[in-house]
A and B are shown apart, each in its own frame.
Chain A
Amino acid sequence: QQQVKQSPQSLIVQKGGISIINCAYENTAFDYFPWYQQFPGKGPALLIAIRPDVSEKKEGRFTISFNKSAKQFSLHIMDSQPGDSATYFCAASETNFGNEKLTFGTGTRLTIIP
């Protein structure tokens, strides 16, 4: 029940295209859903996050879509650039239950080709 399932495992997108990564969860107590971006040899960095009271959040070229009833959320990267090539992890946590442990998805290696 604590799992977060992420797909695809790897993704290749043409420059300027839309990259879409999907995640699904089962624990309905999760109330915070961040996406982390990790470059090789670096620690993950928070990219964008959403709470279940909204269905969408947009920051620049990055958008999270959230479907509470389906227990799914996804990251959309518009106008994908070579600099977006990285590994992306979705995650979830139960912040309101005094438990800030992040449950990570398995990661998606994104490659943007010119």
Chain B
Amino acid sequence: DAMVIQNPRYQVTQFGKPVTLSCSQTLNHNVMYWYQQKSSQAPKLLFHYYDKDFNNEADTPDNFQSRRPNTSFCFLDIRSPGLGDAAMYLCATSRDRAGGTGEQFFGPGTRLTVL
């Protein structure tokens, strides 16, 4: 089945220790998104890629970086995690941009704990 896969599902890191979360997709979608979702809140968009075109949200901290080496994979790097970065991180994809259905397909998420 075509899907969005996130690894690991649970990640524990120490305060200030860099961490990388990964996302892969078999949907061959052009657009990939990273969201942060804290408990009982809506997902908050951090950035998205349209192909290799990177789009950062204005309020995304510099501590968060992303890489998309190819269509299938996208990484979220947190350079110096703070306690406030503990959250569920969701990867999503969509097929296209203009004129698309707008549907986003979400992965299961990575739960990040910062000690």
Q: Using a CB–CB distance below 8 Å, which chain A residues touch chain B?
A: 32, 34, 36, 41-46, 49, 89, 93, 95-102, 104-107, 109
CA A110 to CA B98, docked complex, whole Å: 33
Say whether, besides A42-B108, A43-B109, A100-B31, A105 and B42 are in contact (CB < 8 Å).
yes
A8 to nearest B CB, angstroms? 14
Say whether, besides A46-B103, A107-B41, A100 and B108 are in contact (CB < 8 Å).
no
Say whether, besides A101-B45, A101-B48, A102-B45, A95 and B102 are in contact (CB < 8 Å).
yes
Chain A residues contacting B97 (CB-CB under 8 Å) are 98-100
Contact of A95 among B48, B90, B98, B106 (CB under 8 A): B98
B90 to nearest A CB, angstroms? 5
B72-115 residues at the A interface, CB under 8 angstroms: 90, 92, 94, 96-109, 111
Contact of A107 among B4, B42, B94 (CB under 8 A): B42
CA A46 to CA B104, docked complex, whole Å: 8
CA A107 to CA B4, docked complex, whole Å: 23
Task: Count how many pairs of residues, one from A and one from B, have CB atoms less than 8 Å apart in the complex.
Answer: 62
Contact of B99 among A45, A93, A95 (CB under 8 A): A95
30 CB < 8 A contacts A-B? A32-B101, A32-B102, A34-B102, A34-B103, A41-B108, A41-B109, A41-B111, A42-B109, A43-B90, A44-B43, A44-B90, A89-B42, A93-B102, A95-B99, A95-B100, A95-B101, A95-B102, A96-B98, A96-B99, A98-B97, A99-B97, A100-B96, A100-B100, A100-B104, A102-B104, A104-B42, A105-B42, A106-B42, A107-B40, A107-B42
For the complex, count residues of B whose C-beta is within 8 A of A.
26
A64 to nearest B CB, angstroms? 14
Contact of A98 among B4, B40, B98, B104 (CB under 8 A): B98
